[in-house]
Amino acid sequence: MTEPAPGPTAGQHDHKACVSNALAMASALCQRRGVRLTPLRQRVLELVWRSHVPVGAYEILDRLRVEDGRSAAPPTVYRALEFLMEQKLIHRIESLNAFVGCIDPSRPHAAQYLICRQCGTVTELDDGAVAAAIQEQARRQGFSIDRQSVEVHGTCGHCADPAGAATNHAETATA
């Protein structure tokens, strides 16, 4: 119930690489942009990246208190999350009230999210066709887009086909 870096796709990929890559990318981006990736912000980012399952603000809060022994209250977490979202280092999954690390923060994108009901894993896509179809519809309505959010709930390949994959995928990560 507190395994460090489970990741629903555990065994499928080197998640430590995901994390260190994300942190390095974040550091570089912030430096380039002239914004401060403080220790707190970096730690929150790391906690969001704990797995590919979106994490709630209060779960982050708990970890800051329990694991880090840090004094923290909701605003502590929400401010860090706000910063990370402004910098596009994380995304908010509206339908879950939770946050997930962005796969490629260096490039602006209108992403789509595939959210598995069973394992909770979110797969971030960046499909031009989807974005274009949405933009075309918006244009017809005379609507100018600020932000589009596409959240698709369903069952991922691993959960649907346990035999084939034989993944240890199993159950949810941050339970």
Partner DNA sequence: TGCCAAAGGAAATAGTATAACACTGCCGCC
Partner DNA sequence: GGCGGCAGTGTTATACTATTTCCTTTGGCA
Q: Which helix (H) or strand (E) element contains residue 92?
A: strand 90-93
- The listed partner (a second copy, Zn ion, DNA, none) that binds 75, CB under 5 to 8 Å by sort, is DNA
Could you tell me which residues come within 8 angstroms of residue 69 by beta carbon, excluding any fewer than 6 positions away?
none
Q: Is 156 in the site for Zn ion (CB under 5 A)?
A: yes
Residues in touch with a second copy (CB under 8 A): 94-95, 112, 114, 116-117, 123, 125, 127, 129-130, 132-134, 136-138, 140-157, 160-161, 166-168, 173, 175
- The listed partner (Zn ion, a second copy, DNA, none) that binds 119, CB under 5 to 8 Å by sort, is Zn ion
Return the DSSP state at 55: B
Is the Cβ–Cβ distance between 1 and 171 less than 8 Å? Answer: no
Residues in touch with DNA (CB under 7 A): 35-36, 38-41, 56-59, 70-76, 78-80, 83, 97-98
Token pair, residue 116, equals 């598995």
Is the Cβ–Cβ distance between 44 and 79 less than 8 Å? Answer: no
Q: How far is the CB of 139 from a second copy (least distance, A)?
A: 10
